[in-house]
Amino acid sequence: MPTSTIVSELHELLERDQVVTDDAALDAYSHDDAEWAEYVRPLAVVRARGTDDVASVVAYAAAHSIRIVPRGAGSGLSGGANAVVDSIVLSLEEMTRIIEINTAERYVVTQAGVINDDLRSEVARHGLWYPPDPASYRISTIGGNVATNAGGICCVKYGVTGDYVLGMTVVLADGSVVKLGRATAKGVAGYNIAALMVGSEGTLGIVTEVTLRLLPLEGREERAVIGYFPSLRSAGEAVALVSRAGIIPSALELVDRTCLRAVDEWQGLGLPEDVDTLLLAKVDERGAAGDELADEIARLFAQAGGTSVERAGDVDEVERLFLARRLAYPALERLGPVLTEDICVPRAAVPEMLARIQATAADHDVVIANIAHAGDGNLHPLIIAPVGDAAAKERAKAAFDRIVADCLDLGGTVTGEHGVGLLKLAGVERELGPRVVQLHRAIKDALDPQGILNPGKAFPAARSR
């Protein structure tokens, strides 16, 4: 079918301004923030404003065997929102309504396009807290967070997005609309299909509304511990010691010197100089219990070789250092294209994995900066290649593959929170194994028999015969 016919028929289904076809927009909506993941221009971009819009577009696409690529804010780092051949990009970014905040039952119902930080701010006005806080919390959408099962700084203690999803409204591949999950505190009726949708990257259905569990905002007393380390490995040893001690901090983040320098040169935050690796820990237990945990973490940091360890009493200083952690990725982007890893290893393996990352950087002659949700073993090596340097780009790709292999060798997983998208297809195939990949394909075939929903993402597609 000619593109002009598709666009004309989409105009009949929606308001004219919801269908976007100008070249600049098609280019902007053709990919997310993943470096070097393949993409093409879509046939058109549709900006949905509600579940009915999504259902209408998907039903139309199903009737004409047109592929659909769902998209939130486009802040993903795996190519999960990249347009494929003969596809419509279906953006949910205008679906920004918070539908209900139930303070008695402690849940919120929200459309998929609501920004994570906006949701957190709104429920806080009602004395409630939504813990998942990915580094992109100021720009990423709740729908995108659900699609990738996003984590964040708090997830070491409070869990990832999926731990808070109670229910959802989903548009299936034929355009039908279903309600999954529940709003009650517990319930086990039927298969947990809502949980199956979390992390499925839009390959099984398009989540348009979500019911999220909330926690009380009050009741926590935060204390911070800052540790400066002479090497990545010694910082990793501190992480392993904290884990072996059975301590679950509310945050345990790692930032290396490359990231600190990049952030400081960009933002002028006055970050510490001559520091190789920084560990930032928080505990939020109340009273003496919180003090004891903070003191124990400080002791373990020192035992692991921390050259300077302190209980942080200056709230502004703590916030500045955590801001540096959140700004690391955009700061590094100013230095050149950044190929972002998202591996997760057992916490006991963190020191060895960090050492292997350093060896990979040396062996492949690439710059690898490191940030990490170190408390749960989720590491983000950031591989930097200068613009226009084809040889450096190839070395970066080789380093990326070696890091994935080392992660699996240590019993880890190829993605902790960013999703598989396009960048991790080879790694996830090795991790899952042939029989489990077959299970994925069977589920995909059952829910999306035409294969129109975000094809080629999240797991390896069947090879052509």
Pick from 32, 41, 37: which is nearest to 84 by CA? 41
pLDDT tens digit string along 421-434? 999 999 999 999 99
Residue 111 β-bridge partners: 209
Dmax over CA atoms of the chain, in Å, equals 70
Q: Is the pLDDT of residue 192 over 90?
A: yes
Average pLDDT of the chain is 95
Q: First-to-last CA distance in the chain?
A: 26
CA 371 – CA 414 distance, rounded (Å): 16
Chain position carrying tokens 């035409």: 450
Query: Using an 8 Å Cβ cutoff, are 99 and 209 in contact?
Result: yes
For β-strands 128-129 and 44-47, DSSP reports them as: unpaired
Q: Is the pLDDT of residue 212 over 90?
A: yes
Angle at 183 between CA 179 and CA 189, to 5 degrees: 65
pLDDT tens digit string along 409-420? 999 999 999 999
Q: Is the pLDDT of residue 465 over 50?
A: no
Q: Which domains does the chain have, with CATH numbers?
A: 3-91 (3.30.43.10), 98-216 (3.30.465.10), 223-409 (3.40.462.10)
Q: What is residue 464's predicted lDDT score, i.e. its pLDDT?
A: 46
Q: What percent of the chain has pLDDT over 90?
A: 87
For β-strands 19-20 and 378-384, DSSP reports them as: unpaired
Q: How many CB atoms lie within 10 A of CB 19?
A: 21
Pick from 136, 16, 132, 14: which is nearest to 72 by CA? 136
Q: What is residue 16's predicted lDDT score, i.e. its pLDDT?
A: 93
Q: What is residue 463's predicted lDDT score, i.e. its pLDDT?
A: 59
CA 35 – CA 37 distance, rounded (Å): 6
Residues 6+ apart with CB under 8 A from 186: none
pLDDT tens digit string along 350-373? 999 999 999 999 999 999 999 999
SS3 category, 307:
coil
Instruction: Lay out the sheet containing 98-102: strands in order across.
Output: 98-102, 107-111, 206-213, 165-171, 177-181
pLDDT tens digit string along 75-92? 999 999 999 999 999 999
Q: Is the pLDDT of residue 313 over 80?
A: no
pLDDT tens digit string along 248-295? 999 999 999 999 999 989 988 888 888 899 999 999 999 999 999 999
pLDDT tens digit string along 230-245? 999 999 999 999 999 9
SS3 category, 89:
strand
Residue 343 β-bridge partners: 379
